[in-house]
Amino acid sequence: AGNRKSRGRTPQSLSFEEIGGQQRAKQELIEALDFLIKQDEIRQFGIRPLKGILLTGPPGTGKTLLAKAAAHYTDSVYVAASGSEFVEMYVGVGAGRIRDLFKEARQKAEKSGKSSAVVFIDEIDAIGGKRDGGQHREYDQTLNQLLTEMDGIHSSETPRILIMAATNRKDTLDSALVRPGRFDRHIGVELPDKKGREHILRIHAQNKPLHASVELSRLAEESFGFSGAQLESVMNEGAIYAMREGSERIEHRHLSMAIDKVMMGEKTDRQATR
Ligand code: ATP
């Protein structure tokens, strides 16, 4: 999904401060995670432990970053897979891969001495799409294995496991996945507003030599509708323009040109896939 070509590398662990905008999503997620941390109180009140958090929203808005930050915040190990890995796997292989993922989470936690693990599954719709009468047997087995793993999680077990998943097609998910006790907490991660875009641009400008002419607030205005991933591209492409010209610093016009380029790129991408 989306424009992955020019994305920056993200570390295995990062804090919420490194995610621009997304104030509401961050707050909702932190509330859910605090709930997870207060295990004793939860047990005292007889509350069902939180097992799954579903992040929904358009591509490139920071869902993966939020999952990594959740692991950092709860001092958990982080393991991840993408639903798209499971497409076109032979029957049984997908289910095995899910089993291994959870095994990896438990082993990693044990090795590092941490008491919890975040298992993140991106593009969950690729395995958790609505079942359609046995046509996709492999998807069924993979999904069933995931459901089995989720149902097998107990709050008393160490490490505690939190499953996070992301999708930009929430409506296509099988109802078995989103029922209580599974992914029952949903957090919407939307395209950033102007303030959010400025924040994201600032984060990705941190390691770059900016010229005094650069006005991030104006760039945030000019990049209406851009995702975080596209804003990261803008900073990167702007730096490339500046370097090619032999400039010492990245000027505002370089970044304006980059906005046009990213916008055009999206258009040609869309035409190509039409
Ligand atoms: P997809 O649905 O395509 O998997 P996603 O929502 O998981 O996308 P990420 O993988 O988290 O998106 O973001 C991709 C890249 O875009 C990040 O590595 C980062 O460079 C940049 N990015 C996206 N959102 C933000 C944000 N809110 N703050 C800072 N950088 C961001």
Tens digits of per-residue pLDDT, 63-121? 999 999 999 999 999 999 999 888 766 777 888 999 999 999 999 999 999 999 999 99
CA distances to 41, 70, 144, 172 from 118, in Å:
21, 8, 20, 24
Q: Which atom of ligand 1 is nearest to the CA of 67?
A: 11
Structure tokens that stand for 172 in this block: 């296509």
Q: How far is the CA of 41 from the centre of ligand 1 (A)?
A: 34
pTM score: 0.89
For residue 205 and ligand 1, the question of a CB distance below 6 A is answered with no
Residue 6 has what pLDDT?
36
Task: State the Cα–Cα distance between residues 78 and 101, nearest whole angstrom.
Answer: 11
Structure tokens that stand for 3 in this block: 């424009």
Q: How far is the CA of 186 from the centre of ligand 1 (A)?
A: 18
**CB 263 within 8 Å of CB 35:** no
Ligand 1: which residue has its CA nearest to atom 19?
229
- In this structure, how many other beta carbons lie within 10 angstroms of the beta carbon of residue 267? 10
Environment class of 52 (CB within 10 Å of its CB; exposed 0-12, middle 13-18, buried 19+)? buried
- Please provide the size of the chain in residues: 274
Structure tokens that stand for 145 in this block: 């294995």
Task: State the Cα–Cα distance between residues 89 and 222, nearest whole angstrom.
Answer: 43
**CB 181 within 8 Å of CB 51:** yes
- ipTM for this model: 0.96
Closest CA to 236 of 223, 250, 225, 253: 250
Task: State the Cα–Cα distance between residues 261 and 113, nearest whole angstrom.
Answer: 46
Q: How far is CA 256 from the centre of its chain?
A: 27
Task: State the Cα–Cα distance between residues 123 and 80, nearest whole angstrom.
Answer: 11
Closest CA to 187 of 162, 167, 160, 161: 167
For residue 56 and ligand 1, the question of a CB distance below 6 A is answered with no
H helix or E strand, kind and range, residue 119: strand 116-122
Residue 184 has what pLDDT?
87
Closest CA to 201 of 12, 7, 20: 20
Residue 79 has what pLDDT?
97
Q: For a substitution probing ligand 1, which of 18, 26, 61 has the most ligand atoms within 8 Å of its CB?
A: 61
Task: State the Cα–Cα distance between residues 10 and 65, nearest whole angstrom.
Answer: 8
Task: State the Cα–Cα distance between residues 167 and 55, nearest whole angstrom.
Answer: 7
For residue 228 and ligand 1, the question of a CB distance below 6 A is answered with yes
Structure tokens that stand for 49 in this block: 């432990």
Residue 68 has what pLDDT?
97
Report helix, strand or coil for 76. Answer: coil
Q: How far is CA 141 from the centre of its chain?
A: 24
Report CA dihedral (52, 58, 64, 70) to the nearest 10 degrees. -50
| Mean per-residue pLDDT pooled into runs of 10, the chain (274 residues) | 42 85 96 85 82 95 97 96 82 87 96 95 86 57 91 84 94 88 93 97 96 97 97 97 97 97 77 51
